[in-house]
Chain A
Amino acid sequence: MADEPEQKQSVGGGEQEEEEEEEEQEQPEEAEEEEDEDEASEGSVDSAEGSPPMTLAARRALRAMKSLGGSVDPDDDSPNMIVYRKIEDIVMFIQDEEEGVPIRTVKSFMTKIPSVVTGTDIVQWLMKNLDIEDPAEAIHAGGLIASQGYFFPISDHVLSLKDDGTFYRFQAPYFWPSNCWEPENTDYAIYLCKRTMQNKTRLELADYEAENLARLQRAFARKWEFIFMQAEAQVKIDRKKDKTERKILDSQERAFWDVHRPVPGCVNTTEMDIRKCRRMKNPHRVKKSVYGLAEEPTQVQSPVHGPVHNARKGTKEDLEKEIGFLRHQLDRHCMKMSKVAESLISYTEQYMEYDPFLTSPEPSNPWTSDDCTFWDLETSKEPSQQRVKKWGFSLEEALKDPAGQELFLKFLESEFSSENLRFWLAVQDLKQRPLLEVAERTQEIWAEFLAEGAPSTINLDSHSYERTGHNLKDPGRYSYEDAQDHIYKLMKSDSYTRFLRSNAYQDLLITRKKPEAEQGRRTSLEKFTRSVGKSLTGKRLTGLMQSS
């Protein structure tokens, strides 16, 4: 953030000027010398001198303002960077002297553990500042920030967060993922090698690291002398540093490698979505060497960083197209938000009982109960009352269900207007045919439904009829769109409403309270008494009629 004075980060990191690209590769020890922290203020972050510390929301607002002003590096637009910036806002705020977690030096036996904070403190802080209610969620979120490499447990290679007294330390900005690190195996070899050179228990290699080192020794057999020398040089540089600073830096360096060469079985958070890789616009920004090794001349350009992929620049034609589009949008008749909301709400209310996540399906959800009865019932030819009820919601629902479609067709046959539905179905089928069959099928439909003297003439208005005839000069899948639309509207407004009032539909709605299989003796008794009652009533009526 160019406007603010540089912020002092935790020991071991260089000042991170986010706006500028770091062309030179800062050696860890160079960055080191710029620090002059004393133990008490280790890990504290000063915001702008004199001004109060910013809240998380304020930082985000400032960042948003800057992006509007166009002062942000275009690379910040890439999906990874967006996440890194958000995490960095959090990480900087969490280290704030007043609003952050208590980072301190802990005395333990004969040694001091510098610049640490407990897991519980981090979890509590996240809950408070990220508005999280459930500690499990905070642990998960914190664990992700750790696995990205922004803070780490001081005694473990596995980057996660625990809600207890485990100690964590914050990563130096120099090692932050937003610097586009892609460290090479040669650097990793140097790192492992130098650790074996120093006689410190805390630097001993873990099993997987020892295996990695062995593999690297085989792979780099020819240049091992070079690697060894580099490692020695690094050891010499490290020896010059203050003991406390070395502890901190060593841990930060280890955490860096835990991100880029994770413990087997742990998630490698540096893996990228290949669809987004092409947009890392600036391959030069990628940092490949931690220890300042010169770029090898034989280095192949990373396959992931292709040529700059620019969005097509706006040409005159593009703008004209856009203007045409915008004018068209202005002409569009839109619905008021209140009406839209009512429509969304009423649909949801109507379908809530059909939504298995909101209303448990009868008899049970097959996935939770391991009982497939529900599926058998849904596909059966004898639909449940609930299914039948749904046909009354819209013509579309009725047609979607094969049983509903069948019933509607039968009803139309009784009214001698089944050709409408048959036409609609034929056109639906036409649209699903392979291209080669389309021309033939359009002719068949014409012959069946539209030609003069056709066996199933549909009632089309003259305008649609003309349009359709015209379309057929160049027959295609959409030749009958207008006609189909017209017929659908006709069925919807006319036949469908009568269908819903018809005996055929109403009977199904009433009697099918439970599927046949589950009818108990009581219901059968009901049916019996009803039928007996009916026959008795019938006898009484005829008796009356006879007597009058």
Chain B
Amino acid sequence: MCDQTFMAITFGPCDSCSKASPLMNIYIKSDPINYCSFCMEMMACQALQSGESLATLKSESDSLKKKLEEERAKLHDVELNQVAEKVELVSALSIRTRRVLKGHGNKVLCMDWCKDKRRLVSSSQDGKVIVWDGYTLNKEHAVTMPCTWVMACAYAPSGCAVACGGLDNKCSVYPLSLDKNENLAAKKKSVAMHTNYLSGCSFTNSDMQLLTSSGDGTCALWDVESGQLLQSFHGHTADVLSLNLAPSETGNTFVSGGCDKKANVWDMRSGQNVQSFETHDSDINCVKYYPTGDAFASASDDGTCRLYDLRADREVAVYQKDSIIFGASSVDFSLSGRLLFAGYNDYTINVWDVLKGNRISILFGHENRVSCVKVSPDGTSFASASWDTSLRIWA
């Protein structure tokens, strides 16, 4: 005999539409739901709809992608290297190491040039950030960060400050004092805050704004003075590893590359992703604009570097070789855009002919992975940072 009674509301206001009507008593995940029969049916339909619409949306997206690819392919009437056959070959380059900067105790992860064309800042796995005069090999400043793996560093356009960050998830700005005895760490200003490691940072045209990329999948623009977030950029579905500002004086865009194999172009004003490229087979470690800002190059763990043109909205060249097995970590263009310098995890730097697509030379010298390659502001040299704890300047 049943001696338990349940209170069941069989007639009353519906939980959904509040109309008084006969109710259907059901439990969803042990919560009682008292809906009238009409609302019950609506709920069931909506659930069906959302399931359906997810599938229809997916197929719509796929068909749009296909159509986009077809449209772009129509404009692909010739290959860059075919048109470039008429261009003269680059005469043999005699690039050699001209300076070796020793002083870091551990892997050097990042470096950046000062606008004065000879100073540079570098950061390392052991938390040290050093400012050098590359020409004289003098160490001018040294800061020890409270965290290890300082993966990003940048020189301010004025030359009066440096920004750096890494596993601390922050980007901090240190003003460079002329007084050597002053403790730089005391004047540190915390600007950016992310929820994962800082992978890249760059000042915009002034000391007052900082653009950052992070392992949390976002990029962000910050006001240095107040530390305020001015704009955030969402769209990557995995860690963002690199960013680069468009070179134009009037441009307001930048490109980012990440572990989702995508390179995205962003509008700094609106925070919108305006173009996206996905042709790499693995993480994109570095992105760099072509000098005009109409194209950019990327370096990836799939061992290739690629050139994407923004006007054609497509990949226009792939720089690869059978003998290059290890990933490319970093790229930069020479001043005219004819040469592409790429640093690899196989300790070498390859020099590519951007137009013809062939490799011009391979540079040996580093004894461990090359983590960063950057051409100096006037194009007279490029610097490379490596896990072998040294930096080299080549010309």
Contacts and interface: CB of A to CB of B under 8 A. Distances in A.
Interface of A: 56, 77, 79, 82-83, 86-87, 90, 126, 130-132, 134, 136-138, 140-141, 144-145, 267, 271, 274-276, 278-279, 311-312, 314, 316, 319-320, 322-323, 325-327, 329-330, 332, 334-345, 347-352, 354-358, 361, 365-368, 372, 374-375, 378, 396, 399-400, 428, 431-436, 478, 481, 484-485, 488
Contacts of B204: 431-432
The size bracket of the interface on B is: 35 or more
B361 to A, nearest CB: 10
B71 A348 contact: no
A422 to B, nearest CB: 16
A137 B324 CA distance: 10
Contacts of B117: 375
A345 B334 contact: no
A320 B368 CA distance: 45
A327 B64 CA distance: 7
B250 A326 contact: no
Contact of A337 (B75, B283, B362): B75
A368 B355 contact: no
B346 A330 contact: no
Contact of B313 (A332, A342, A361, A372): A332
A275 B362 contact: no
B275 A329 contact: yes
B380 A361 contact: yes
B249 A274 contact: no
Interface string B246-278: 001110100000011000000001000101100
Given A329-B313, A355-B338, A361-B380, 9 more contacts: A130-B323, A140-B348, A311-B238, A314-B58, A319-B58, A337-B312, A340-B312, A350-B336, A378-B378
B301 A358 contact: no
B64 to A, nearest CB: 4
B292 A347 contact: yes
Given A275-B199, A367-B395, A357 B58 contact: no
A84 B239 CA distance: 22
Interface in B287-313: 290-292, 294-295, 301-303, 309, 311-313
B309 A431 contact: no
A132 B364 contact: no
Interface string B347-364: 110000011000000101
Contact of B393 (A325, A367, A481): A367
A316 B56 CA distance: 10
B1 interface: no
A351 B323 contact: no
B341 to A, nearest CB: 9
A5 B217 CA distance: 42
A367 B380 contact: yes
Contacts of A271: 387
Contacts of B215: 275, 278
A319 B59 CA distance: 10
A337 B80 contact: yes
A130 B362 CA distance: 15
Contacts of B223: 434-435
Contact of B355 (A138, A319, A344, A351): A344
Interface in B366-395: 367-368, 378-381, 387-388, 393, 395
